[in-house]
A and B are shown apart, each in its own frame.
Chain A
Amino acid sequence: MLSYVGWRFVRMLSVVFAVTLFTFFLLNLLPGSPINAILGPAAGDPAARAELTNQLGLNHPLFERYFIWLGHALHGNLGQSYVSDQSVTSAIAQRVPLTLELMIMAEVISLGLAIPMAMVCSLWPDKWFDKFTSGSTLLLLALPAFILGPALIYLFAIRFHVFPASGESTWFTIGGGTSPTIIATPQSILLPAIVLSAGQLALFARVLRGDLLATLKSEFILMARSKGFSRWYVLLHHALRPSSFSLMSLVGLSVGGLLAGALIVENVFALPGMGTLLITSIEKRDYLIVQGMVVLIATGFVTVNFVTDALYGVLDPRVRRARLIG
């Protein structure tokens, strides 16, 4: 048990290590010097150069600098934005809640729809609803957010005024100071969440349908049916739980895809979350924010994967035994 989780933990750390190394060297090996890249037009100012040289520790050798930077990062100090006068940490912290809000809402929508859909499909396989679901989910899987987004905006915001269009979303802020927390109103985040949930919904429904159909063929289901339980009762009380393992691990594994999707969806709907921050920072060459965000996103993502993997191993003894044999 311990060695399974322990091995996973070492792997997680190695990925985080690789990511920090990767972004650190990308920034430091930029053509010219990172000072020119970060300061841009202000690079001529010797005072700013000296301050940045000091802050980035450019007077130390490259590898030493990496560990200095890592030490700062571990203390939550990712540097200072050179475009706005926020610290990188607070600029990101301001945007995190909206992105999380979007992701949670999308996850709720996709699970809330996928589970009933898969259940209906597995009760009447190859009937019209099943065929419709299999066709439409295949289409949804091929539609990225930047295509589904504009299409749904046109349909629901311009043709029928159900949701606010892109750019008309509303949000409010909590707390004061230079970087208050941003949270979007439910009506302006619903359509983005629907767009974000589409791919997940399709994947979840397909996987759960397959597992349910396999479970419904087992003998204990026949047994339960022969005792006189109705098809719905058997499905809900006997078949659903043993069929949900793949779904559960998929939910964990797809967090990364959901996050990447959220970054695009925010840009489609002009929502002030992490995705728009990342893109505007790239456009403005605010490299320290880009670096900080990539490290944070990667770390968060790898942590979620680790927790999913570990939980999966705890919940399903077959998994950890299989891994230990290997």
Chain B
Amino acid sequence: MPDSSAETETRGRRRRSGLDASVTSRAEEGLRASLAVAAEAREAADLTMAAAALEQLAPSDSQLEALSRDALSAPAAGMIGSGPRKGLGFGFWLATSWMGLIVFAAIFDNILPLPSPTQVLAGPPNQGPSWRFPFGTDLIGHDVFSQVVAGARVSMLIGASSVLAGLLIGGGIGILAGFYRGTTDVIVVWVTDVLLTLPGLILLLTLVAFLGQTLFNVLLAIAILSIPAYARIARATALAVSQRDFVLAALALGARPRRILVRDVLPLVALPIASYAAIGASIAILAEGALAYLGLGPPNSLSWGDMIAAGQQQLTTAPQLTFAPIIVFVVTIMALNFMGQKAGAALDPRQGRL
């Protein structure tokens, strides 16, 4: 008698665990699919798309909970270093050096031994590339190279401020929402939902149209619009991390929530959002480029978008005016995207497995 009852109990447990496993695997499948779309969309450097994909993550909190028990513990082991760790590779360092060059140009633009970007007749007008003027000159003899160098400043300023706002404000809000849940979480999810479901460019145009076209307003608008993506990534990660056993263990040991938040959750959330920073910066720089191209950037500032738009008027007579900023812009965007992908894959072992 006791034997058979034990048997039924085991069978029941087995059946239940089988059910759990199927639920978990289905949840995992869904999560995997949305993560894959998210990764793909990050490549696309398209905020709306990444958001839409991440949004698929958001309602699946219960799936995340189910996942966190077993599925997440496996990659966690990989994080310690049991899995094969891929190097960042040559391409990553190439991209990093390019970005170093651009940042250098943005900072030291004024003291570089180049003709001033606004100096008329720095050389003979409308020339193709030469040794003295690597990108040629425009119709009134501006040196296009020094204009492109000067244009780095606006782009880098935009990238840096959006990353800063995203990491500090977005990351902070996201962690708090994911860790404490409750009303904060509901509000954060709703606000970010509204901001993320709408096309970012349209929000940006609206903000700048109504606030006025100054450099500060453009910086502010792009920074504000960068926050939701970081907040959602931080929230999703914090949510998953705070379900893990070591958080439970810390709670059982009597640690207060704030201590757990800072000591246990924050370090694990910091990596994913930091790895998003390069992609986030490239999205912000693209947005500023589009804004400047449309003639809605800050007036009288040299920006690559402005230069492309101005050059397009003389595409037939002086194509170098359009193509010089285009090439630098594209290489910068691709370098940032590449860095972001590599950093994401290296820091987040889950992505490598997907």
Given A203-B40, A263-B201, A256-B48 contact (CB < 8 Å)? yes
Given A253-B49, A279-B294, are A141 and B289 neighbors across the interface (CB < 8 Å)? no
Q: A26-B206, A150-B312, A153-B315 are in contact. Are A199 and B46 (CB under 8 A)?
A: yes
Which chain B residues border A240 with CB–CB below 8 Å? none
Interface contact B205-A287, CB-CB below 8 Å: no
Instruction: Tell me, in angstroms, the Cα distance from A14 to B59 when the chains sit together.
Output: 16
* Contact flags A280-299 to B (C-beta < 8 A → 1, else 0): 00110001001000100110
Hey, what's the 0/1 contact readout for A136-169 against B, CB within 8 Å counting as 1? Answer: 0011011110110011011000100000011000
> Are B205 and A282 closer than 8 Å at their CB atoms?
yes
Query: Across the interface, which residues of A come within 8 angstroms of B193, CB to CB?
Result: 11, 15
CA distance A305 to B49 in the complex (A): 12
Q: Could you say which of B206, B286, B308 contacts A294, with CB atoms under 8 Å apart?
A: B206
Bound-state CA distance A318–B309 (Å) is: 47
- Residues in B whose Cβ lies below 8 Å from that of A298: 198, 202
Residues of B within 8 A of A202 (CB): 44
Question: Is B326 a contact partner of A142 (Cβ separation < 8 A)?
Answer: no
Which bracket fits the contact residues of A? 35 or more
* Minimum C-beta distance from B69 to chain A (A): 16
Which among A31, A260, A283 is the interface contact of B199 at CB below 8 angstroms?
A260
B-side contacts of A1, CB under 8 Å: none
B162 CB–A CB distance under 8 Å: no
Inside 8 A of A260's CB, which chain B residues have their CB?
48, 199-202
Nearest-Cβ distance from residue A129 to partner chain B, whole angstroms = 20
Please indicate the chain A residues that have their CB under 8 angstroms from the CB of B194 in the complex.
14-15, 18-19
Is A174's beta carbon under 8 Å from chain B?
no
Q: Quick check: B290 and A138 within 8 Å, CB to CB?
A: no
Q: Which residues of A contact B295 (CB under 8 A)?
A: 279, 283
Contact call A326/B63, Cβ cutoff below 8 A: yes
In the complex, per-residue mask of B304-320: 1 if CB is within 8 Å of any chain A CB, else 0: 01001101100110010
Q: Which residues of B contact A257 (CB under 8 A)?
A: 46, 48-49, 199
Please classify the interface of chain A as helix (H, G, I), strand (E, B), loop, or mixed, using the class held by over half of its residues.
helix
A-chain residues with CB within 8 Å of residue B26 when the two chains form the complex: 318, 322
What 0/1 pattern do residues 244 to 278 of A give for CB contact below 8 A with B?
00100010011011011001100110000000001
* Interface window among B230-238, B327-335, B342-350: B327-335
**B294–chain A nearest beta-carbon distance, Å:** 5
**B residues near A, CB below 8 A?**
26-27, 30, 33, 36-37, 40-41, 43-46, 48-49, 52-53, 59-63, 190, 193-194, 197-202, 205-210, 212, 286, 289-290, 293-296, 305, 308-309, 311-312, 315-316, 319, 322-323, 326, 329-330, 333-334, 337
